Chain A
Amino acid sequence: MNQRSISFRLVAWYAGLLTGIFLLLCASLYLDLRHFLVNDLRESQARRAREIANTLLVHVKQTGEAYVATQTEDWYDPEINDRFIRVTRADGTLIYISGAPKDGSFSPAEVPALPSSSQTEFSRKIALAGGKTLLVAALNFKSLGNPTYRVEFGTLLDPVETMLNHLFLQLTLGLPLAIIIITAGGYLLVHRALQPVEQITRAAERITQHNSSERLPVARTGDELERLSISLNRMIARLDDAFQNSRRFVADASHELRTPLTILRGELESLAEDARLGSEWRDRAAILLEEAVRLSKIVEQLFALSRLDAGEAQTDWSRFDLAELARTTAEQMNLLAEDKNISITCDARQSLSVEGDRVRLKQVVVNLLDNAIKYTPGKGTIHLRVKAVNGHAVLEVEDNGVGIPPKALPHVFERFYRVDPTRAGDADGAGLGLSIVKSICTAHGAEVEAISVPSTGSCFRVKLPLVKG
């Protein structure tokens, strides 16, 4: 899961907060309850110890110690109530000790004497054999007849402990379960609420300048997301307008330039051929004519680009072998390369069936080879390769020429872009060859990329969907 996603952060934050609050609440509940129960028990034992002291030991001189013992047995029934009562004289003489409780949970005789204390009232927890704990409240009481007695009244802490353990177990099991439920529920809820965002994102990814007439889905929920998708759609509409305007501009401009160019070329052509003019004037007219021709070529290429952008490439769609196309093109371009002492090797043995406009795709190969020839110095080598890679037909044109600097690499397919502006005077190109390659590829659903190491060479790779059969 993406840890930076809104749903993750939202759920993590509130689940963490709830866990913290729950932990605090449970801990305080457990500790408070424990404190309260133990104290309550201690209080009641101390009260009973005081009762024995007040009601029986005050007059022990008159009643006798044996009477105290029997009365204590009668009133408190320690065996039935699982209690421990021991009355001793200060010198340690035992006056009364309760019998073993009925369930035999402990043996009173084994309860060790509490250490002597200067306090009148105090209590101790005594660990018994078998892991049981006895809570004993002790009271040092001075009777009217002067002997000092100690009354010990105790009961097992175990029921309280059991209850607390039970509570602890419930809390430790219940808490993680509650947190899991809260987290899962929260995640589902947030995920559902953010689902439209996912859809909007995916739809927005698909929109490029070639399908800018598409719009994002609008969830009619009346919430912020609906508003977001509507305003995004408005933004796409404005971009769409801008794309169309620029496309129309290129189409209109190249169209409007045609007529004046025709006139210019026509007049210059007749001047350049006019025998009545001196050769110097005819030469000058010819220079102007050459420039007019170059201008016409740029206009034609711009127009071709705008037509490709408008999706007019699909008029001559057919199925053909890309490898065969590469081989013939390489052969046809060979002389152009040889002229610069460059050799073209073509590795395209496996026939690969692709679909598209054959003339246009051939233009891709022609332009890429022409580009490679232009930017490879004499005695270089150009490799043209066609192969199948993961269901795609891949065509590569690799040269060992001057290469492209990394900062220029992302721009090589842009219109009129030149890696080296000082080469703008290059007689043939207008910086449109690679833009045309890119546009043709896009119109064919193909990808084209450039990889390059300066002064080592460049590689242009076209990836076309392969057709089965």
Chain B
Amino acid sequence: MRILLAEDEKKVADIIERGLKAERFAVDVCHNGRAGHEMAEAYNYDLVILDLMLPEMSGTEILEKIRRKNQQVPILILTARDGMDDKVKNFEAGADDYLTKPFAFAELLVRIKALLRRGPVNRSSTLRVGDLEIDRLSQVVKRAGKKIELTAKEYALLEYLATQPGRVFSRTMIIEHVWDQSFQGLTNIVDVYVRHLRAKVDDPWPVKLLRTVRGVGYSLSDEGVA
């Protein structure tokens, strides 16, 4: 998988590059708009990450130029502006996703994987993490064969975390997926729900699946700490 990253802030580009390489992606980085456009023309990338404010040619322009050639490559926009107008304009121009700075790298990764049809497109009706089993059709959750009663929100939270076992989800991502934008900034609600979920899913068993990653968020994985 080869990703093109056009980002003029060298340090930001560096972090993303390192992170993606650690995930075994091939990454080409450029720091200005024209180079970005030329590289996008020259090679058939699997994914393009564009910063909106690039010297010489803006991210929106590159986006329009790529889409004019009707290339179906997924494009993720990075921006330091999060005005609704910008968002709408770029989605109309053919962006597939939109991420506002500052973001958690974990979040960027989840979105990239979603765009590459690797991650949350786990469409199988049963999700498994260790001995935890989630039936998405009947919404029944079992651990070691024992049924666990969850409220609707608890279930939604657990299912979301289980879509990518081992991946860290930031509180902001959880809020946006499980709640809605109105809860923006109210991240303590996530902590409360995770605590309740833990009491039902983890506490009765010696192996803990729900992991807190300080400063980042939560993840569900079977490499959990005992």
Contacts and interface: CB of A to CB of B under 8 A. Distances in A.
Contact of B184 (A292, A293, A363, A365): A363
A258 interface: yes
Interface string A304-329: 10010000100110000000000001
Contacts of B19: 266, 270
Nearest to B183: A366
Interface on chain A toward B: helix, strand, loop, or mixed SS?
A: helix
A168 interface: no
A287 interface: yes
B206 interface: no
Given A258-B101, A259-B9, A428 B216 contact: no
B152 to A, nearest CB: 10
Contact of A303 (B16, B82, B88, B183): B82
A360 B183 CA distance: 10
B64 to A, nearest CB: 22
Nearest to A315: B84
A263 B214 contact: no
A248 to B, nearest CB: 14
Interface in B97-112: 100-106
Given A266-B12, A266-B16, A359-B181, A273 B213 contact: yes
B83 A307 contact: yes
Contact of A335 (B80, B103, B183, B192): B192
B185 A301 contact: yes
A416 B85 CA distance: 27
B101 A262 contact: yes
Given A262-B102, A263-B15, A336-B192, A269 B185 contact: no
B177 interface: no
A261, A288, A299, A335, most chain B CB atoms within 10 A: A335
B94 to A, nearest CB: 20
Interface string B74-91: 000000111111001000
Contacts of A286: 213-215
A290 interface: yes
B121 interface: no
B193 to A, nearest CB: 6
Given A266-B105, A267-B15, A272 B179 contact: no
A352 interface: no
B114 interface: no
B182 A363 contact: yes
A261 B101 contact: yes
Contacts of A300: 82, 100, 184-185
Interface in B191-224: 192-193, 195-196, 213-216
Nearest to A332: B179
Nearest to B214: A286
Closest 9 CB pairs of A and B: A289-B215, A286-B214, A266-B15, A362-B182, A261-B102, A258-B80, A262-B102, A258-B101, A363-B182
Given A263-B12, A428-B186, 10 more contacts: A261-B102, A262-B15, A265-B102, A265-B104, A265-B105, A335-B153, A335-B192, A339-B195, A365-B182, A366-B182
Interface of B: 9, 11-12, 15-16, 18-19, 80-85, 88, 100-106, 153, 179-189, 192-193, 195-196, 213-216
24 contacts: A259-B9, A259-B101, A261-B102, A264-B102, A266-B105, A268-B215, A269-B215, A283-B214, A289-B216, A292-B102, A293-B104, A293-B215, A299-B102, A300-B82, A303-B82, A307-B84, A315-B88, A332-B183, A335-B189, A335-B193, A336-B188, A366-B186, A367-B186, A427-B188
